Amino acid sequence: MSQKKYVALVTGATGGLGTHICKRLADDGYVVCANYRSKEKAEEWSRKMHEDGYLFHLYQADVADYDEVAAMIDAITADHGGVDVLVNNAGITRDGAFKKMSKENWAAVIGTNLTSVFNCCRHVINPMLERNYGRIINISSVNGQRAQFGQVNYAAAKAGMHGITKTLAIETASKGITVNTISPGYVATDMVMAVAPEVRNKIIEGIPVGRMGGTGEIAHLVSFLASPQSGFITGANYAINGGQHVY
């Protein structure tokens, strides 16, 4: 009898980090469902992934919208039988000093980075409980653990993600479900590499290992936590920041 192929859902899949997470999970043998918000970007991304030899199943939803997430999970369940691994990777920034921060920029970041975690977890958790199996991995940030000027909204959302992780972990631990957080430091995504070289160099000066992280390194950690062999790890927060913040 062939072994079941686990189904993984990655939110914010078409970004730099999401792309590498999708590829690594596909390499590990998962059926990968890639969430996106912009259809035009997703179609171009899908073509590029196909050229690279990957076939991902695309599902549209604004993860900040509870009902859109419900429809997405229903579609994945109909197509593939449910979500075994959820990677909450979607995220945005709307930086600015708190004294100038608009309520719109606060709400946008909290919605996409934090409320999305509730929405996605809420719609997969009961089926996971029924199957007595699940892996939930929340992609947070070093800036959810330390202070960062101009990121009150982002830091609050990323810290809140681990608050969800810890409590959901103990609520589901006896049912074969693990819930963990990954907190990357500065990673060499296209967005980060687009900043001025002098700014990048200043950032690197503050990283003890002397470089930025690679998206593949974050994906490797996702792969580890997603594995059926990682069932004794839950409620944990994995810092992966090159020694920039240790505690």
Catalytic-residue membership of 238: no
**What is the rounded CA–CA span in Å between residue 212 and residue 205?**
10
Give the burial string for 125-164 (b: 16+ CB within 10 Å, else e): bebbbeeebbbbbbbbbbbbbeeeebbbbbbbbbbbbbeb
Q: Which of 154, 186, 238, 247 is catalytic?
A: 154
Phi, psi angle pair for 145, to nearest 5°: -110, -20
User: Which residues participate in catalysis according to the annotation?
Assistant: 154
